[in-house]
Amino acid sequence: LGLYALGAGGAGSVAVIHPVYGPAVQAVYATGTVEPSVMVPIAGKRAAVLLSFSADEGQSVTKGQVLAQLEDDELQKALAEMEAVAALAEKEFARRSALVQKNAVSEQSLDQARSNLDAAKARVAQAQANLDEMKLVAPEDGVIIRRDGEIGELIAANQPVFWMSCCSGLRIAAEVDEEDIAMVKPGQKVLIRADAFPGRIFNGTVQSITPKGDPVSRNYRVRIGLEADTPLMIGMTAETNIILREEKNALLVPATALHDGAVWMVKGGKAALQTVETGAKSPGSVEIRSGIGADALIVMDASANITPGKPLRAQIETWKAP
C-alpha cells in the first residue's frame, strides 16, 4: 500500500482509506516491579553468631515458627544462675514462713524474704526473655522472600536475617511520567503483561499514588494491586497499561495517517489538510474524536509529499484496525 507518483504536473495516485469504527482504549503506559504489599524484616536484638536455619527463601511459615537460632551459651548460663538464686530465695521464704508461724522471726523478716523471692523470679523471667530472643520466629503467617547471613557469621544487632511477605498479597510499583500522572486515579483498571508469561494479560487495580514525585526521573510511583491468583513473582518486571477510558465504537484511522494533529484528505480530487481531535492511541491506530467523519477519504501515509490543493487520484484501500 501507499505507492505514490506525485509529479510536479498532473494528479498523483495516493492510497486512501475510510475511517472505521472499532474498540479503542486510552491508557497510560508504565513499567514496574512486583513487590509484596507488606514486607517484614526479622532480626535479632543483640549481636550474636548465627548457629542454624529452620527456614529458607520461598518457604511458607506460620506465626511463631522458629526460623533461625543465634548463639545463646552465655544467656543459658545466666538463666541457670538466676534460677539457682530464685530456688534459694524460695527456700528462704519457706523457712521464714515456718518461723513466723512459731513466732521465731518477725513479719518484717518474712516481707524481706518475699521481696527477695519476687526480685529473683523477675530476674529469671528477664533471663528467659533474653534467651528467647536468640530464636528468630515468624511474627505472622507468610512467605520468606529473602534470607541473609550464613551459619557461623556474626550478625549485628537489628540486622535483618529474613524478610517475609505477610498479611496481604502482591502489588506492582510502577513509575508513571509526570506528564501522565494527573490522569491516574485510584480504582482504575490496569492491564498487565510480563515477559515471564508471554501472551497472557493479568488484571490489576490502581491502589495509591505517591504524593511526591522524583525530581530527577520526573516520575511518580503508582502502586497497583493484583488479583489473588496472579502467578507473578516478587521482583519480576511488568508492563502496565492504566485504563483511562474505553470506547467500544470509536472512529479509528491508521497511526501513519496522523501528523502534528492533522490528517490529509482527498476532497474533490485535491489534497486538503484537516485538523482533528485525537483520543486513544495504539501502535497501529488512533481514535478520532472530532474533525472528520466515517465517509472521509484519508491518506494512509501522512509523510507523503503532499501540498494543500495538490490534485490527487484516490486509490481506495481496505483497512482494518489492528
pLDDT confidence of residue 229: 86
pLDDT confidence of residue 234: 86
pLDDT confidence of residue 68: 94
pLDDT confidence of residue 9: 42
pLDDT, averaged per 10 consecutive residues of the chain (322 residues), comes to 40 87 90 88 93 89 93 94 95 91 86 94 95 92 87 93 83 95 96 94 95 92 92 92 91 92 92 92 88 93 87 89 80
Q: How far is CA 67 from CA 42, 138, 140, 315, in A?
A: 9, 7, 12, 73
Q: How far is CA 9 from CA 3, 5, 309, in A?
A: 17, 11, 13
Query: Which among 182, 184, 321, 164 has a CA at the least distance from the CA of 240?
Result: 184
pTM to 2 decimals? 0.60
pLDDT confidence of residue 11: 61
Residue for cell digits 486510552?
26
| Enclosing H/E stretch for 94 | helix 73-101
pLDDT confidence of residue 65: 93
pLDDT confidence of residue 2: 37
If one counts every other C-beta atom within 10 angstroms of the C-beta of residue 46, the result is 14
Contact 151, 53 (CB under 8 A): yes
pLDDT confidence of residue 5: 39
pLDDT confidence of residue 224: 97
